[in-house]
Structure 1
Amino acid sequence: MRWSAALACRSPPHESQSASHPSVTDFRKAISEGRCTHDNVREALQGALAAGEAREALTSYFEGTIRSLTVDEVFDANDLDRDIFSLAASGCRSLTLVGDPWQALYQFRGARPAAMTTYISENGFTTHRLDESFRWGSDRQASLTRKLRKRLPVQLTPGHAQDADVVIAHRWQALWGADAHVLPLAIKPGVGQAQEAICTLLLNEIIQHALGLQAVFLHDALATLGLEKEDLATTLHACLQDAVSHLKDGAPSRQVWESLSDGLADLVPALAAQRCARKPVLALTRLQLRLGDDQLVPGLTCHQSKGREWNTVAIKLSSADISALALGLDPTEADHRALYVALTRARLNTLAVI
C-alpha cells in the first residue's frame, strides 16, 4: 500500500456552519419529525462505527468500490473523518492526503490539526512538500507568503478599501466598523432571531443590486422565518424594496423598521411573534450608510474567504493582528492561521486597511 501526504498551500471553497439558534419548541418539533443537525448525524455515525459489524460492512464496501483514495483538507478533519478514510484505506491500494496545517480553521466542528500531524507520522506516510502556488501572480505575493510561513515579521502596504477587490477581517463586526465603502456580506455570524433574519434579507437585496452577490446567511435567514427562497421574488420583494428605497432617501431607521415589520406581519408569522422585541436600528443605520455609495467593496471574514482568490485583497487588521505580524505568525495559534488564510487570498497584492 502507498500512503502519501501532500502539504499544500491551497484550499477549496467551504461551507460555513449555520449559527442559527431555534427556539426550544422548534427544536423539539424538528426532532420529533425525525430531523436533526450535522452534529447529530456525526454522533450517530460515530456510534454506528463503534459496532464491529458496521465497521466490517463498511470496510467490505470500500474494498469493492475504491482502488485509490485522495482526501483533501485533511488538517480540517475531525475524528470521524479520520476514522472513515482510515477504514477506506485498509481496503485500497493507495491513500493520498492533501492539506496545509497553516490553513486549518474548523476546530468548531471538531478538527484537530495536531492529531492529524501525529496520524501522518505514526502511519509512515511519504510527505511531499508543495512550495509553489498556482495562485501567485506576482513576486510580491509569493514573497509575502514565504515570509509568513517562515514566521518572519511582516508589515503590509497600507491602502484603501476602494483599491481592493475584497476586504477581509476576523469578525463581521470589524467589517461593519470599517470604511463605509465596505459592504459586509453578513450582519453577524449566523441568524438567530426574526429581526436579524429580516435585516439579512434587506442586506441581500442591497448586495445583489450593488455587487451581484448573495448574503452569506441568506438560507439561514429564510429558515429562521420559515420561508422559501422563491418568496423573495414574489411576496417579499415589494416590501423589501420599499424599505431599501426609504433608507436610501434618508428616512429614520426606526421608522423604516416599523413600516417594514407592519408590511411583513401577515406574510411572516415568525416576525409577528416578535414584534415587541428589540428593533434592529443599528443594523439598518449601517445599511443606510452604504446605500449612497457607488464604489462598494464586498467584506468577508477570514473563514468565509478560505478557498477563494482575488487580484488585490485588503485586510482590516486589529491591534492583535498587527502585533502578530510584527512578531511572525505561529501556525499553532488558531487566530494566526485564520489571518494567514486572509493574507494569502490575493494573486497580486495584499494591502492593510487599518
Structure 2
Amino acid sequence: MSQAEAEAVLSGLDDEQRTAAQAVSGPVCILAGAGTGKTRTITHRIAYGVHTGTYVPEQVLAVTFTARAAGELRSRLAGLGVGGVQARTFHAAAMRQLRYFAPRVLGGPMPSLIENKLRVVASAATRNRLTTDRTSLRDLASEIEWAKTTLATPEDYAARAKAAGRDTPFEPAAVAAVYESYESAKQRDGSLDFEDLLLVTAYALEEHQDVARQVRAQYRHFVVDEYQDVNPLQQRLLDAWLGGRAELCVVGDPNQTIYSFTGANPDYLLGFADRYPDAEVVKLERDYRSTPQVVGLANKLIGMAPRRKGLPGLRLLGQRPEGAEPRFAEYPDEPAEAAAVAARCRALIDEGLPAAEIAVLFRINAQSEVYENALAAAGVPYVLKGGERFFERPEVREAVLLLRGAAAGGNDPGMLVPAVRDVLASTGWAEHRPPPGGAARDRWQSLAALVDLAVDLVAENPSLDLAGFVTHLAERADQQHAPTVQGVTLASMHAAKGLEWDVVFVVGLVEGVLPIAQSFSKPDAVEEERRLLYVAITRAREQLTLSWSLSRNPGGRRSRPRSQFLTGLAPESGPTAPPARRPAKRPKVVLEGEAGELFERLRTWRSQAAQSASVPAYVVFTDATLQAIAESRPANLRELAGLPGIGAKKLELYGEDVLAAVSG
C-alpha cells in the first residue's frame, strides 16, 4: 500500500470528515447529522485504513440496517479500490456465521427460517382462544418482535411491556401466552425466526469458545452504521463479536432516533463515551443536502427539544446556496389540502422538474389514500413507498425472465437500450403511451423504470450488453436496490429516512397525528415524534412545504389544532394545540341533563357501530368510556385520546364519529 493512495482517499473530504477518516483505531464515534456525508466518510475511513496497512480488508465487518445500505457501502468501497470488506446487515452477517457453525453449535444443519411470522402467530393465538383479524395478527407479531429484540422472555413480557408503556393489541398476559405458544411451535418445528438468528449467533459466541476464537480471529475491526437504531439484541451480538475489544467505529445521529417503538435504544449511542472513556468523538455538521433555509428550520425544531444526557448535540451548518423559505399552509379539510399539493406537483412537473424529485410525506399510512386520489385526479404519476418490493412485482419478475432469455440468445454491445425496449414491447408495453392511473399505470411505470435504468447504465458504460444488464439487475435485486420509478413519492416519515428529494411536502400536521395520539401521556414518546418531523424536514434539498387541515372531511367541524411542533416555526394563525394532558379518571355517577342526553346518543351510535362490525357493543367502547366522553365532551382527537379506554386503534376507527356525536 502506498502513502499516495492513502492521501488520495482523503482528498475531497472536509476537515471533520478527514479527521474521522484518519481515526482508524477504535473506539471511534462519528456523530453525523442529516446530509453531512456519513456514508462517504465511513467508506473513506475504511479505505484509508486498508491503504495505510492498518486493516486487512477481509478482517473488517461493517454492519448496517438494510441490504440496500450494505450494497451501497460495498459499491463505494469498490470505487475506492477496496474489495473483500464484509458489509452486511446484522441478520445477513449472523445468517452467514450461523450457517457455517450450525453443525458445531446446534448439532445439525441450519434450521429452516420463518420468513413471515403471521401463520405461526395465528396458530398460537388460536390455541389461546383469541379472536384475531389480519391487523391484530400483525400487531401481535410486532409485539413478539419487540419482546425478542429487547430480550424479554414470555415470563417477564407483561411486566416489561407495562414498564415500557406499550400499547398492546390484547391484555399483556394474553400477548405473553401467545408469545410462549409461538416459541413452543418454533421449537417443535425446528425452525428459527429472524430474531433467533441474532440470538443464537450471540449464544454460539458466548458459550462456545472455539467458535468465538474463530470469528474474532476473522473479524478484527467493526463499523456500525445508524447506531442510534441498535436494539439490545443487536448490541448483545455486537458485544459477542467484539469479545471485549475496542476496535469499533459507530456512526449515528441522536436527532434521527425514531425507532424506539421497535426496541431501538439510543442510549448505546448517547452513552458511547461513557462506555469507552478514551473514545474519539467526531462531529459532522456541514449539511451538503439542504438549503440554509431548510437547515435553519430543522435546527429551530430540534433546538426546542429538551437536552438529552450523553454525547453533545448536533447543529447543522448549511453549505448550499440560499434557497426559498419553507412554506406553511392551512386548509379547511384534508381533500382540500391534498388537492392543493397535487396541483403544486402538477405545476412543478409542467415546469420541468422530474416527478421522482418530489415527495409527499405523512405520519401514518392511512393518510396516503386522499393523496393518491388527488394526484390521480391531477394526472400526476405517483409511487407508494412501502408497498410491494420492486423486484417482487409480477411484471418486473416476468420482464427479468424475458430479458434473461433474450440475453442467452446473444446480442450486440451498444444495442442494450433498443434490446430492452424490444423485450418489454413483447409484453404489450408501449413507451410513449402510459395508461390511465391505477394498476395498469403502476405496471407501465415499473417497466419504464427498467428502460430508464438501461439508458443510465449505457451512459456510464457504452459497451454494456444485455447479459451484463441482466447480471446488474440480479445484483440490484439481491441488494433491494430498486431503480428510480418516475412518479411523485408517497411515503410515511419513517419510510422516508435515508432518502432525499428536491421538493418535499410534509402534510397532515395536526395534533393526534403528529404527535400521534398515543404519545400524549409519554414525554419521551412526544419527543420522538418531534425527531420524526425533523427527519421529514431534512429530506428536502430545495423546497419544503408543511401543511395541515382543520377538518378531516369537507363541511366538517374545523376544530383540529395544528401540531404543537409548529409553535415557534409557523406563523401564529389558526388554532393552536392545547397543552398535552391526560384527564384524571372520574368516579361513576348518574348522568343528567346534557351529559345524560349525550351518553344515550353515544350508546345508540355504539350499537350501530357494533352491529356494522359484527362485534359485541363493549368491544367498541365500554359504558365507562362512554360516560367519560359524555362528561368531558372532548372537542378534538387530542382530548379524546386522553380519556380512559381510548387506544390508538379505537381513536383511528371511531374518533371522528365520536366527535361528531359530541357536537350533535
| TM-score, reference length from structure 2 | 0.33
Q: CA separation in 2, counterparts of 1:218 and 1:178?
A: 19
| Structure 2 CA distance for partners of 1:85 and 1:42, relative to 1, 3 Å | closer
Contact kept, 8 Å, 2:29 with 2:272, in 1: the verdict is no
* Counterpart in the other structure of 1:172: 365
How far is the alpha carbon of 1:150 from its aligned partner? 1.6
Larger-gyration structure (1/2)? 2
TM-superposition CA deviations, 1:153-179 (whole Å, max 9, x none):
x98533724157010111111122347
User: Does structure 1 residue 5 correspond to structure 2 residue 29?
Assistant: yes
How far is the alpha carbon of 1:61 from its aligned partner? 2.4
TM-superposition CA deviations, 1:165-197 (whole Å, max 9, x none):
0101111111223473357xxxxxxxxxxxxxx
How far is the alpha carbon of 1:302 from its aligned partner? 1.1
3-state SS of paired residue (2:281): strand
Match of 1:134 among 288, 292, 300: 288
* Counterpart in the other structure of 2:249: 96
Q: CA separation in 1, counterparts of 2:384 and 2:360?
A: 16
* Counterpart in the other structure of 2:197: 41
How far is the alpha carbon of 1:140 from its aligned partner? 1.1
How far is the alpha carbon of 1:303 from its aligned partner? 1.3
| Structure 2 CA distance for partners of 1:106 and 1:303, relative to 1, 3 Å | same
User: Does structure 1 residue 76 correspond to structure 2 residue 229?
Assistant: yes
* Counterpart in the other structure of 1:157: 328
How far is the alpha carbon of 1:210 from its aligned partner? 3.9
| Structure 2 CA distance for partners of 1:296 and 1:119, relative to 1, 3 Å | closer
How far is the alpha carbon of 1:130 from its aligned partner? 1.6
3-state SS of paired residue (2:494): helix
* Counterpart in the other structure of 2:131: none
| Structure 2 CA distance for partners of 1:147 and 1:247, relative to 1, 3 Å | closer
* Counterpart in the other structure of 1:21: 118
Aligned partner letter, 2:370: G
How far is the alpha carbon of 1:121 from its aligned partner? 1.9
How far is the alpha carbon of 1:81 from its aligned partner? 2.2
TM-superposition CA deviations, 1:206-245 (whole Å, max 9, x none):
xxx945x57633259x79xxx99747999xxx9xxxxxx8
Q: CA separation in 1, counterparts of 2:367 and 2:358?
A: 18
Match of 2:386 among 198, 202, 216: 216
Contact kept, 8 Å, 2:501 with 2:540, in 1: the verdict is yes
| Structure 2 CA distance for partners of 1:147 and 1:44, relative to 1, 3 Å | same
User: Does structure 1 residue 297 correspond to structure 2 residue 488?
Assistant: yes
* Counterpart in the other structure of 1:317: 508
Q: CA separation in 2, counterparts of 1:330 and 1:145?
A: 19
Aligned partner letter, 1:336: R
How far is the alpha carbon of 1:120 from its aligned partner? 3.6
Contact kept, 8 Å, 2:504 with 2:545, in 1: the verdict is yes
User: Does structure 1 residue 352 correspond to structure 2 residue 505?
Assistant: no
* Counterpart in the other structure of 1:333: 527
| Structure 2 CA distance for partners of 1:146 and 1:102, relative to 1, 3 Å | same
3-state SS of paired residue (2:491): strand
Aligned partner letter, 2:266: P
Q: CA separation in 2, counterparts of 1:297 and 1:303?
A: 17
Q: CA separation in 2, counterparts of 1:167 and 1:46?
A: 40
Q: CA separation in 2, counterparts of 1:6 and 1:353?
A: 34
Work out which structure has the larger RCO, using CA pairs closer than 8 Å and 6 or more positions apart in sequence. 1
Q: How does 1:99-114 map to 2 (within 5 A)?
A: 99-114=252-267
Aligned partner letter, 1:157: F
How far is the alpha carbon of 1:246 from its aligned partner? 11
| TM-score, reference length from structure 1 | 0.58
How far is the alpha carbon of 1:73 from its aligned partner? 0.7
TM-superposition CA deviations, 1:258-313 (whole Å, max 9, x none):
xxxxxxxxxxxxxxxxxxxxxxxxxxxxxxxxxxxxx9632101111110010111
Q: CA separation in 2, counterparts of 1:318 and 1:115?
A: 31
| Structure 2 CA distance for partners of 1:93 and 1:333, relative to 1, 3 Å | closer
Contact kept, 8 Å, 2:198 with 2:234, in 1: the verdict is no
Q: CA separation in 1, counterparts of 2:255 and 2:117?
A: 28
Q: How many residues align?
A: 266
Q: Runs of 5+ in structure 2 lacking a partner?
A: 1-24, 40-63, 68-114, 125-181, 306-324, 330-339, 349-356, 402-426, 428-434, 439-485, 516-522, 549-664
Q: CA separation in 2, counterparts of 1:67 and 1:170?
A: 41
The alignment's C-alpha RMSD in Å is 4.8
Contact kept, 8 Å, 2:294 with 2:537, in 1: the verdict is no
24-33 or 315-324: which moved more? Answer: 24-33
